[in-house]
A and B are shown apart, each in its own frame.
Chain A
Amino acid sequence: MSGAGAEKSLTGEAFMHMIKLKVNGHVQELGVKSHQTLLEVLRGPLELTGVKEGCGLGECGACTVLMDGKPVNSCLVLALEADGSEILTIEGLAQVGKLHYVQKAFVKEGAIQCGFCTPGMVMATVGLLQENPNSSQEEIKEGLRGNLCRCTGYVKIIKAVEAAVEMMREGEQT
């Protein structure tokens, strides 16, 4: 799908490729430059501004999305490398009006202040709990280590994730 037929753009610098991927359940087919990251493509042409850029270097986790079910920093994935993959962003989590149990827990426990880290934090949590629905506090802290928050001090985020674990156990999945 990629590698052949590279075109140079108007600026004469960029190499263009077509990629096809599923984003939040919808198939997207678009042309991308070789140096564009998945984050740039999600926020740019796909207009999913819920995915945030915090640092661009994989240090803060604000850009976390699920790629084929695994939490990744979308700022460090070339759009080309996402060709053929399934991406879930924060926008794809809630099902028309109904919040995901992780989102519900974040709201209820006061785990959101400025909210800028929240989309990445929620996606990292979903990835974490999908892998281990019975995560302990230590596992939560370790699993979310890559998500920085400057506002909350993490205390209520941990409470929210623990609450989500409980909700899941009690079968309150959406």
Chain B
Amino acid sequence: MTWKVIGKGLPKIDSISKVTGEAQYTVDLKLPGMLYGNIFRSPLPHAKIKSINTSKAEELQGVHAVITAKDVPLNKFSFFQWLADKTILCSDKVRYLGDEVAAVAAVDEETALEALSLIKVEYEPLPAVFDAEEAMKPGAPLIHDKEKNIGFHVERLFGDPDKAFEECDYICEDRYVTGQVSHCCLEVSNCIVKWDSSGRLTIWTNTQAPHTQRQEIARILGIPIRNVRIINSTMGGGFGSKLVIDMKLPIAAILSKKTGRPVRIENSRAEEFSTAKTRYGYTIYVKTGAKKDGRLWAREMKVIGDNGAYHDKGPATLNFSSMMFGTLYNIPNIRYEGNLVYTNKQMGTAFRGFGNPQIAFACETQIDVLANKTGMDPLELRLRNANQSDQMTFCGAEITSCGMKECMEAAARAIGWEEKRRGKGLRGVGLANMVHTGAGGRFYGYNAADAFIKLSDDGTVALITPAQDMGQGSHTVMAQIVAEELGVNLEDINVISNDTDLTPYDLGSWGSRTTFMNGNAVLDAARNTKKEIITVASEMLEANPDDIILEGGRVFVKGSSDQYSFSELADYAINKRGVPISGKGRFVDKLPSGYTIKEGFAKNIPTFAFGTQAAEVEIDEETGEVKVLKVVAAHETGTTINTLMAEGQIEGSVVQGIGYALMEGLTLKNGKVINDGFIDYKIPTFGDIPEIETILIETNDPHGPFGAKGIGEPGLVPTAPAIANAIFNAVGIMIKELPITPEKILKALKEKKGG
């Protein structure tokens, strides 16, 4: 299938404004009369608040407002309201170091900071707990007014795992630990909030989900949703950190109300690391059994998820882990148990991969240990258990397109599996599979998208879509879809997504869903617009509708040399015909029969995305350093809408995966993050990346726009296990805790030598 723009490596439509410094991010915005807010945060991980004295802060010249819990609505809030456990400001207790206790608004940042230093709070420290497994035990300090620290529990059971394990010839049982890691968006989380005279609240913030955040703000402030407007700007990264509100927004709203002025609150980089939300750390117990022929027959997983001090996307994360756990390799007998446990630490939230990188690290490294036991080649073992297209798994997941086998073969070939697997000196290769969603999920009930297109009187096209572009390029994807369908040039399309007053309701950019969900809506809008264009053109050109061609921004009649511009067409439509041209589009995800959210579990995913990564590493036995020489990432895109962008998503994910595997982790001492800066929280630099080869596998999804599905997250899922497996191949040690540091390698090598 040859398309005009689909499948090409075209530059993103926002590239020029970004490369010239013209693009305005939320952090660049200023409003007249704007005040600067700052938050007073708890210096203790767990304590009762005995008294707060803000008088000195209030008296400081330049301070316009100081607020504490008595000044704010104390509605409890959480993303899942039925688990609500957090208030805007702490009233009786603080639950993690960084918990919001008070806030100030002042004429400038320095004054705001000084005001914070004048706030005096008396605490009664309480015993704190920082490890989720410890927090589960009886006698652990209780963090909320509940009997135990388990905030959420989920179980899944398919088949008969107990019986099945007895039938297995090989069994592996292991414990894995992954910790809290930070999103490290280059633009810090920030907002400006302002009320207008009609009582409406406008919030400028970097957000991946403005419509759902709007609901959250309304809920927590106790105001009608219609009174809230959220405006996004160019975003400096998201990766899941910008899906659910944090308390900055309602705090700024209350400060703004009190002062009658717009209020800006911005995280410092240190706050981003030490108080903002993280990826959920998981402790994973996993047991896998295989039959003699290599068939994976039974699998059991217990996840202890570190919730942090308050609820956020944890339940959805644990659920999503169970969905991917159930789908990969279609194992007939599976049991999953997930517990979300409160600890006195930063809360977790969504982070690219959403529970999948954690379990993939456990499952896909265990496969290699299992392969080792069986004497089978790990690639062979995986091929024998590969998922198939058009398959319903034992847990009920409906797989449509599936490129797993192709991905595995491509990755293995490109890394040189045959030659390199024998291991040469201290080098080794490993690979890992993954399955992820290519289209978000149905678990929030609503799963549809709308889009609108107008042909302006000047002949350019305006597309209104709620798909938020956080840098991944959704605007360009949507524009390419329009360009392909309408035959206009990319530069003639203006994509608007930034204002909740304008855009249709949408769940936001997460779960690799925008290409599939919003792309389908945009395609529908484009098709409907095309119908109107053809009708007008055929009348204008006195030709048969079937003979109208739209290409390169011009309108032709087949067989004739006459051509007209879109602006001439628009002019004709409006001034001669008296009717403008536009198109509405909608995509409603077709729910499987018998689907309910409660029973939905495996049927939550509209389409799955498969992928395989292979890594080659070299170990320095004396220093424990792991040098990643090459990573091959073979991922299916369904249809690649834009090759540069798809590769970019994968490359970016792989490097985040390398950070996750080898470097990253928030380090705490007595509940305080001691690496709250790039100096000690290491993320990969130019000098840390291997050769990265990306292979895009096209499997033509039956339901995606032009056959496409999502690629935003999959690239991060198999990287850590691929690297761990390569280390296993090189030196025969399997590290079961992330990050895999030189010290862990040294200790494991020492242990291995010691016998």
Which residues of A are at the interface with B, using a C-beta cutoff of 8 A?
Answer: 10-11, 13, 43, 48-57, 59-60, 62, 89-91, 93-94, 99, 103, 106-110, 112-119, 122, 140-142, 144-158
Q: Which residue from chain B places its CB closest to the CB of A60 in the assembled complex?
A: B678
Q: Is B651 touching A142 in the complex (CB atoms < 8 A)? A: no
- Inside 8 A of B471's CB, which chain A residues have their CB? 113-116, 151
Q: Assuming A52-B236, A60-B186, what are 5 further A-B pairs, CB within 8 angstroms? A: A51-B21, A99-B20, A115-B18, A141-B687, A150-B183
Q: Which residue from chain B places its CB closest to the CB of A51 in the assembled complex?
A: B21
Closest 3 pairs (CB-CB, A-B): A50-B21, A114-B471, A115-B18
Q: Is B186 touching A94 in the complex (CB atoms < 8 A)? A: no
Shortest A141–chain B CB gap in Å is: 4
Does residue B404 face the partner (Cβ distance < 8 Å to A)?
A: no
Bound complex: CA of A32 vs CA of B12, how far in Å?
39
The listed residue with most A CB atoms (<10 A of its CB), out of B186, B645, B687, is: B186
- Inside 8 A of A110's CB, which chain B residues have their CB? 9, 11-12, 644-645, 647-648
- Inside 8 A of A146's CB, which chain B residues have their CB? 685
Q: Which residue from chain B places its CB closest to the CB of A140 in the assembled complex?
A: B686
Q: Is B236 touching A153 in the complex (CB atoms < 8 A)? A: no
Does residue B462 face the partner (Cβ distance < 8 Å to A)?
A: no
Q: Is A122 touching B19 in the complex (CB atoms < 8 A)? A: yes
Bound complex: CA of A60 vs CA of B269, how far in Å?
11
- Inside 8 A of A114's CB, which chain B residues have their CB? 185-187, 234-238, 470-471
Q: How many A-B residue pairs have CB under 8 A?
A: 171
Bound complex: CA of A106 vs CA of B14, how far in Å?
12
Bound complex: CA of A155 vs CA of B234, how far in Å?
23
Indicate which residue in B21, B651, B692 contacts A89 across the interface (CB closer than 8 Å): B21
Which residues of B are at the interface with A, using a C-beta cutoff of 8 A?
Answer: 9, 11-12, 14-16, 18-25, 27-28, 61-62, 110-111, 183-187, 234-239, 268-269, 470-473, 644-645, 647-648, 651-656, 677-679, 683-687, 689, 692
Q: Is A150 touching B184 in the complex (CB atoms < 8 A)? A: yes
Bound complex: CA of A146 vs CA of B647, how far in Å?
24
Q: Is B62 touching A11 in the complex (CB atoms < 8 A)? A: yes
**With A113-B473, A151-B652 as given contacts, are A56 and B269 in contact (CB-CB < 8 Å)?**
yes
25 CB contacts below 8 A, A to B, read A11-B110, A43-B28, A49-B28, A50-B22, A89-B21, A90-B19, A93-B20, A106-B15, A110-B11, A113-B472, A114-B185, A114-B234, A114-B235, A114-B471, A118-B19, A119-B21, A122-B19, A147-B686, A150-B183, A153-B648, A153-B651, A153-B656, A153-B689, A154-B684, A158-B686
Indicate which residue in A117, A142, A154 contacts B186 across the interface (CB closer than 8 Å): A117
- Inside 8 A of A149's CB, which chain B residues have their CB? 186
Bound complex: CA of A150 vs CA of B241, how far in Å?
13
Bound complex: CA of A49 vs CA of B471, how far in Å?
18
- Inside 8 A of B677's CB, which chain A residues have their CB? 55, 57, 59
Q: Is A152 touching B269 in the complex (CB atoms < 8 A)? A: no
Q: Is A11 touching B652 in the complex (CB atoms < 8 A)? A: no
Q: Is B61 touching A11 in the complex (CB atoms < 8 A)? A: yes
Shortest B416–chain A CB gap in Å is: 20
- Inside 8 A of A107's CB, which chain B residues have their CB? 11, 15-16, 19
Shortest B24–chain A CB gap in Å is: 7
Bound complex: CA of A174 vs CA of B244, how far in Å?
45
